[in-house]
Amino acid sequence: MHTRTLGQGLQVSAIGLGCMGMSQSYGPNPGDRAAMIKVLHEAVDFGINFFDTAEVYGPFVNEELVGEALAPIKDQVVIATKFGWRIEDGKSVGLDSSPERIKRVADESLRRLGVETLDLFYQHRVDPNVPIEDVAGAVGELVQAGKVRHFGLSEASATTIRAAHGVFPVTAVQSEYSLWTRDPEPEVLPALAELGIGFVPFSPLGKGFLTGTVDPSTQFSQGDVRGTIPRFTAENRATNQALVDHVAELAASKGASPGQIALAWLLAQQPWIVPIPGTRRRERLEENAAATNVALSADEVADLDAVASRIGVQGNRYNDQHMGLVGR
């Protein structure tokens, strides 16, 4: 797999791995820790060296899992983690990006991941109670102390990105982005291009919808976050199916999978975009990694853009509570 460069010279594999689903959000959590460690090892075998986790995933257990799995090769991989939540009694109870908490979380994440330096440290959600300049300053101090290499933001607005970057250089911004989530295009992506900041789309496969494995008849298990998302009601899935059908047609004509087309579309947008699809399965890892070999012509990219714009998407990507936390 070839590499791509996020802002401030951070080189990573063109496809990364979102590790959240190994510990939460997609139905019953895997009971076999060894199996998840094996998947993380297999990701490296497929050329993936960019891993995404967070203290709040679990909470805490996802960082511990990633740290244990990658310990033998920690100098050969790039691990991104995140701060920004107040966690009490094993649950997130609100945002907290106070400088004191940022520094405490950094120390705790270093311990759980078993590394000397955090490669990429994102603010998970913008905290309206803490000026972004203070957040950037706190992470800058961690960089100076050798505890963090790169500073990132997640689901931030262009205005917030510019303000943070003016205090300490931002290396990457992470937000949801895919053929059916185009929110970053009007303002965020142009700002990143101007400032030289990389972009890391999470849920690049539409939480599984763009792979064609979810349809209007799918029943989500207890604990699967998709059961709480308006976009995934049965009615909305039926409406949104038209986009997946078009992606599947193109995939069939190219001998690829629908998921590979969705990832290839993202890779074709900009050379500084690095998607991080998540999975618990070896076969999906292999499929996602191979998306880097799927070439889309300019006409095919334009066709996908046109179809996605014409069809649109029915339903918000989060419930009302979580929609209030993005785009600040």
User: Residue 18 forms beta bridges with which residues?
Assistant: 52, 278
Catalytic residue among 57, 122, 177, 318: 57
Please tell me the distance from the alpha carbon of residue 290 to that of residue 15, in angstroms, as a whole number. Answer: 9
Q: What is the dihedral sign for C-alpha 204, 206, 207, 211?
A: negative
57 belongs to the catalytic site: yes
Indicate the pairing of strand 91-95 with strand 85-88: antiparallel
Read off the tokens for 103: 């520094």
Please tell me the distance from the alpha carbon of residue 126 to that of residue 96, in angstroms, as a whole number. Answer: 9
Hey, what amino acid is at 236?
N
Contacts of residue 303, Cβ cutoff 8 Å, sequence gap at least 6: 250
Backbone angles phi and psi of 229, in degrees to 5: -100, 125
Backbone angles phi and psi of 187, in degrees to 5: -125, -45
Please tell me the distance from the alpha carbon of residue 289 to that of residue 321, in angstroms, as a whole number. Answer: 34
Q: What is the dihedral sign for C-alpha 65, 71, 76, 82?
A: positive
Which DSSP letter does residue 58 get? T
Contacts of residue 10, Cβ cutoff 8 Å, sequence gap at least 6: 78, 119, 120, 149, 150, 171, 172, 198
Which DSSP letter does residue 273 get? B
Please tell me the distance from the alpha carbon of residue 71 to that of residue 56, in angstroms, as a whole number. Answer: 20
Active-site amino acid positions: 57
